[in-house]
C-alpha cells in the first residue's frame, strides 16, 4: 500500500512538472536567429571557413534547427532537448548531409532576451584527432518579426 502511494506521488510530480515545463514562446526567446559559424573544410589544421548560419528555436522549447551554408551545400543540425530557464540544453546526432558530415554534439544555448541574442556552445562527443578544438561560442542575433 505504501509503495502504491509513493508511485502515485512520483507520477503526479512528473505529470505536474511536464505540464508546467517552460515554453520558449512564453518567455519570448523562440524564433529565427542569424549569425556565422566556423567550419573546418579539410583535415588540415588552420583551414577554417566562416559560414553564414541560421538558428531556429521552436516555440515549445524542446527543439531547434541550425543550418549553415557550406561551400558545397547546406549543413543541417537537428537539436532535441529542454529549456532550463534561459538555457536550451540539447543533443544532436551525427549524420552525413549535403554540406558534409556533422558530428554528434552536446549543446548549451544561452538566450539574452533584452539583447535579442542566442549564444551557441557545442561540444563534439567524439572529436576526431584531426579536428580543431570545438570549444567555441557563436553569438547569433534574433531576426525581427515581419
**C-alpha–C-alpha distance, residues 121 and 140, integer Å:** 11
Domains of the chain, by residue range, sit at: 23-142
| pTM, 2 dp | 0.77
37-57 pLDDT, tens per residue? 888 776 566 567 889 999 999
pLDDT at 4: 58
What percentage of the chain reaches a pLDDT higher than 90? 46
Q: What is the dihedral of CA 7, 11, 13, 15, to 10 degrees?
A: -170
What is the dotted CATH code of the domain comprising 23-142? 2.40.128
- Higher pLDDT: 126 or 77? It is 77
Cα–Cα distances (Å) from 37 to 21, 55, 61, 66, 139, in that order, read 30, 11, 22, 10, 9
DSSP string, 27-96: HT--EEEEEEEEEE-SSSTT-EEEEEEEEEE-TTSSEEEEEEEETTEEEEEEEEEEEETTEEEEEE--EE
Amino acid at each position: 500500500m505504501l509503495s502504491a502511494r509513493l508511485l502515485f506521488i512520483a507520477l503526479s510530480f512528473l505529470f505536474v512538472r511536464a505540464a508546467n515545463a517552460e515554453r520558449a514562446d512564453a518567455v519570448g526567446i523562440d524564433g529565427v536567429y542569424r549569425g556565422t559559424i566556423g567550419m573546418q573544410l579539410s583535415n588540415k589544421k588552420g583551414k577554417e571557413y566562416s559560414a553564414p548560419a541560421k538558428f531556429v528555436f521552436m516555440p515549445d522549447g524542446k527543439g531547434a534547427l541550425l543550418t549553415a551554408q557550406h561551400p558545397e551545400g547546406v549543413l543541417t543540425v537537428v537539436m532535441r532537448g529542454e529549456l532550463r530557464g534561459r538555457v536550451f540544453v540539447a543533443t544532436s546526432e551525427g549524420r552525413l548531409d549535403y554540406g558534409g558530415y556533422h558530428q554528434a554534439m552536446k549543446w548549451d544555448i544561452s538566450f539574452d532576451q533584452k539583447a535579442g541574442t542566442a549564444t551557441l556552445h557545442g561540444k563534439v562527443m567524439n572529436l576526431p584527432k584531426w579536428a580543431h578544438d570545438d570549444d567555441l561560442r557563436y553569438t547569433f542575433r534574433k531576426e525581427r518579426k515581419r
